Amino acid sequence: MPAGLTGDTKVVKSNGHTIIPFCAGAGEQRSFTLHNCASCIYILVSILQASIRMSIHSISREIVDSILEGLDSNTDRDSIRALSRVSRSFRSHCLRILFSVLSFHPPSSPHVPTTCRSFYNLVQSIPHIPSLVRTLNIREGTQDHLWIPTEPTFPDVMRALVNVTAISMVFVKISSLPEASRSAITNQRLTRIHLDSVHFRSDDEFRALLRYSSDSLEILDLGNITFDSGTRSSDGSMRIQPAECRLTMLMLDVQSEGDAEVLNILFGLHPPIRMDMVEKLWLTEVCISSDAVVEGLDKLWNCLVVSGGGMLASISVGDCHGLEEALRPVTLNGISEISFLTTTSGSVGFSPSLQWWSNNFSRAAVATEGWEPDEITIILQLETGSSAPLVSLFDDESIDAWTRMDTSLCGVGVIGTPAVEVRIILDANHDSTSDFLFMQSWVRRQLPMLHEGRFLQVRQAMGDL
């Protein structure tokens, strides 16, 4: 053992060269974590190269993996780039991390090259880069700032992205995509599709996109979808049987007429893909803006929740206003995990989503076959700018909703009382220990049976669902 090292000192060897931690002196050791700072690694390898007066052509896979495991692909990109220049051992692994996610967005000005063109120029010198891309993000823009139709490199780049498994499109008009560039978005290996503010010429175009990926699709995230007015599926597409699909998570933002049309497509008489494998439903935001939205949501519940034979086990509901008025109670048998977020602003209380859920808890508790929920998460979030006293945010309707939940979840119809966690997210005006303690005490008083039975946990949290 080299002088100055204790028996507990870890010695790592690479190609016969010993790499040791820094030691502060006799009997004292200061730990040095290799993966914490890529620049330190670069300096360390440079010192070794100079000391042995030869190039280190390869570093053991063990060292490479241990360093890269401690780096975040989003926040440590500069460090990863530095490591890619240390040796050939790092280069291939670093490139795989750096180019696993590719994002195209509008240029800051007409005189600045698009991110697509910059990527195209890079590919000219490193041809294998496109094969490393697994996630593709495309953001176009408003009608007056469409960059895709005028970008000559876009079709070539899209054709080269043969290994994409996840795609996100935001503010994209599908008709603006050149026909030669659509191979990446009609990829039969896509496991995740995220569409936000995407415009389709017809629902046939939307149906086709889902059917292309039906064999591999696992997560579908949709919101603010629009269609050309007056476009409906042809009789031919109506006769096609829904494609088998392994979709396990469905995330929906339901606010507009277009979103209601999406619900009619997915859960109507002739859906493009089968939905019976969905295990988790996530309603990120719901606004009951029309009867069409209510009808679409009703079809969703009938398909995923009410009808037997489905796989749905988890429901998460974001900021949803009007649910208690627009939706009938549905049986929750088979649902083991429920999360819902209820926000407040100004003098509006914590009641909209709570009322609808509490009605459902009451109905589920008296179901003849019983209900076995495992976990329920309730998130109370005060939006920034709420200036009303906390006590005024809990109106009579909200108090009634809490009471119904408490008695339902601890009632005789529930086979096993679930663990209930209430997360409290305070705004800037109420972010203090005393405010949290007030909220915590209030919640415990409203759920006395859960609290006394030790089924209730109340904690302060950040973020939302």
Over residues 362-390, the pLDDT tens digits come to 766 655 466 677 888 888 877 655 566 67
- Is the pLDDT at 420 greater than 60, yes or no? yes
Q: Residue 285 pairs with which residues in a beta bridge?
A: 253, 319
Mean pLDDT of 439-458: 90
Mean pLDDT of 400-416: 76
- Check residue 9 and give its pLDDT: 43
- Is the pLDDT at 215 greater than 60, yes or no? yes
- Check residue 164 and give its pLDDT: 93
Q: What's the distance, CA 349 to chain centroid? A: 28
Domain boundary among 76, 98, 120: 98
- Check residue 43 and give its pLDDT: 55
**Between 314 and 113, whose confidence is greater?**
314
- Is the pLDDT at 93 greater than 50, yes or no? yes
- Does residue 321 sit in helix, strand or coil? strand
What does the buried/exposed string (b/e) look like for 36-63 if buried means 16 or more CB atoms within 10 Å of the residue's CB? Answer: ebbeebbebbeeeeeeeeeebeebeeeb
Domains in the chain, number: 2
Mean pLDDT of 224-246: 74
**Between 82 and 33, whose confidence is greater?**
82
Structure tokens at 149: 């139709």
Amino acid at 63: I
- 113, part of any domain: no
Domain boundary among 98, 121, 142: 98
- 91, part of any domain: yes
Highest mean pLDDT: which range of 88-92, 203-207, 383-387: 203-207
- Does residue 169 sit in helix, strand or coil? strand
Domain boundary among 67, 98, 129: 98
Weakest mean pLDDT among 45-49, 272-276, 379-383: 45-49
- Is the pLDDT at 66 greater than 70, yes or no? yes
- 216, part of any domain: no
Mean pLDDT of 262-269: 92
Q: Residue 316 pairs with which residues in a beta bridge?
A: 282, 339
Mean pLDDT of 394-402: 77
- 345, part of any domain: yes
- Is the pLDDT at 10 greater than 60, yes or no? no
User: Residue ranges of the alpha helices (H) in 60-193?
Assistant: 61-69, 77-84, 88-98, 115-125, 154-160
Mean pLDDT of 1-15: 44
Q: What's the distance, CA 43 to chain centroid? A: 37
Mean pLDDT of 90-117: 84
**Radius of gyration (C-alpha) of the chain in whole angstroms:** 28
- Check residue 120 and give its pLDDT: 94
Domain that holds residue 355: 313-465
Rounded to 5°, the CA angle 44-45-51 comes to: 90
Q: Residue 194 pairs with which residues in a beta bridge?
A: 168, 221
Task: Determine contact, residues 314/335, Cβ cutoff 8 Å.
Answer: yes
User: Residue ranges of the alpha helices (H) in 161-306?
Assistant: 203-212, 235-239, 257-267, 291-301
Weakest mean pLDDT among 247-251, 278-282, 348-352, 408-412: 348-352
CA-closest candidate to residue 225, choices 267, 260, 175: 260
By CB neighbour count within 10 A (0-12 exposed, 13-18 middle, 19+ buried), where does 391 fall? exposed
- 396, part of any domain: yes
Show Cβ contacts of residue 75 under 8 Å, excluding neighbours closer than 6 positions.
none
Q: Quick one: pLDDT band at residue 339, thresholds 50, 70, 90?
A: confident
Mean pLDDT of 437-452: 90
Q: How far is CA 261 from CA 99, 102, 266, in A?
A: 36, 31, 9
- 344, part of any domain: yes
What's the CA gap between 321 and 327, in Å, rounded? Answer: 11
- Check residue 337 and give its pLDDT: 84
Q: How far is CA 312 from CA 178, 220, 330, 335, in A?
A: 38, 15, 13, 7
- Is the pLDDT at 271 greater than 50, yes or no? yes
Mean pLDDT of 449-464: 86
Mean pLDDT of 54-61: 62
Q: How far is CA 390 from CA 374, 423, 435, in A?
A: 30, 16, 8
* Whether pTM exceeds 0.85: no
What's the CA gap between 134 and 29, in Å, rounded? Answer: 43
- Does residue 385 sit in helix, strand or coil? coil
Q: Quick one: pLDDT band at residue 335, thresholds 50, 70, 90?
A: confident
Task: Determine contact, residues 238/208, Cβ cutoff 8 Å.
Answer: no
Q: Quick one: pLDDT band at residue 464, thresholds 50, 70, 90?
A: low
Q: Quick one: pLDDT band at residue 338, thresholds 50, 70, 90?
A: confident
**Between 98 and 330, whose confidence is greater?**
98
Task: Determine contact, residues 361/323, Cβ cutoff 8 Å.
Answer: no
Please state, for a pLDDT cut of 70, what percent of the chain lies above it: 73
- Check residue 25 and give its pLDDT: 42
CA-closest candidate to residue 354, choices 267, 447, 418, 273: 447
Show Cβ contacts of residue 452 under 8 Å, excluding neighbours closer than 6 positions.
none
- Is the pLDDT at 27 greater than 50, yes or no? no
